[in-house]
Amino acid sequence: MDPNLSEAHLVGVARLYVAEKALAAAAGATALTVEEFGPFLFRDEPMPNVTYALLKNEGILTAEEADATALATQMVLRALTGEPNTMGNVYLAWRDAYESLDAGLIGKHRRLDSAAVYTPELERRDWEQCLAEGTTVVSHFGTAGALPHAMMEGTRYDVVETLPPWPGQSMTWSVPRMGPLVLARLHGDGGALDVYAGEGVEVRQADRVDWHRLKWLVRMDVGAFVAEAIHHHWAIARPPRGRSLELLCEELLGLALRRF
């Protein structure tokens, strides 16, 4: 546990976990997504996503930022693999040009005004690097904070303060396991499912770079992603076996399946 977090805050995290489980049980729900950021920033109450990893291991899927489509996609993938999974924001940025910046560490809170220092030129360099290397960057709170045991190294979670951007808030912390995976998202009209094959090849951790404090580099067909991607939020899971994805989509759910 992070020594910067008060006992009262950690008790609040535990109470939140119990309350979310009770809410799901009362509704007969096996999935939960909350608009967790805006109403909770710069307040003492823990944000709802701090418990997401624990809920996933108990059979309650979760998604960030009230993204019901990402949540539904995770439900499709769980039906195929029998395992909980996660979601993340997929970027073609926040790579070496960003990491080379002087973060301007300021006291305990280590604030970095990324908008002021991460210029369009630096972002373009990172974009070109992603294209050249064939990797995307999976980041955001869900990357480390909502990994089920099947997708993480070890089984231990830490609760850490969300420095630098939101002092006093917290998130669950874990490290993704490398290896084959799929990124998937249902189309907005529910008529198709896009699936990208990928492989986790590297994890980068940096305490000084805003909320991109853990980055999961995924090797995939970046050209196809640039041309076809329909959103920045993607459900992420270990690959389904055999033709299970085709059978579920095309024969049971009536979904058009697009593989990349």
Give the model's confidence band at 106: pLDDT under 50 very low, under 70 low, under 90 confident, else very high: very low
| pTM for the whole structure | 0.89
The pLDDT tens digits for 7-53 are 998 999 999 999 999 999 999 999 999 886 777 777 777 888 889 99
* pLDDT, tens only, 56-89: 999 999 998 889 999 999 999 999 899 999 999 9
Q: Check residue 110 and give its pLDDT.
A: 43
105 band by pLDDT with thresholds 50, 70 and 90: very low
- The CATH number corresponding to 7-259 among 3.20.14, 3.10.20, 3.90.1200, 1.20.120 equals 3.20.14
Res. 116 pLDDT band, cuts 50 70 90: low
CB of 145 closer than 8 Å to CB of 53: yes
Domain locations along the chain: 7-259
CA distance 217 to 73: 21
Beta-bridged to residue 170, according to DSSP, are 161
Backbone φ and ψ for 191, nearest 5 degrees, come out as: -95, -5
State how far the Cα of 48 lies from the Cα of 32, in Å rounded to an integer: 10
Q: Omega of the bond prior to 240 within 30 degrees of 0, cis?
A: no
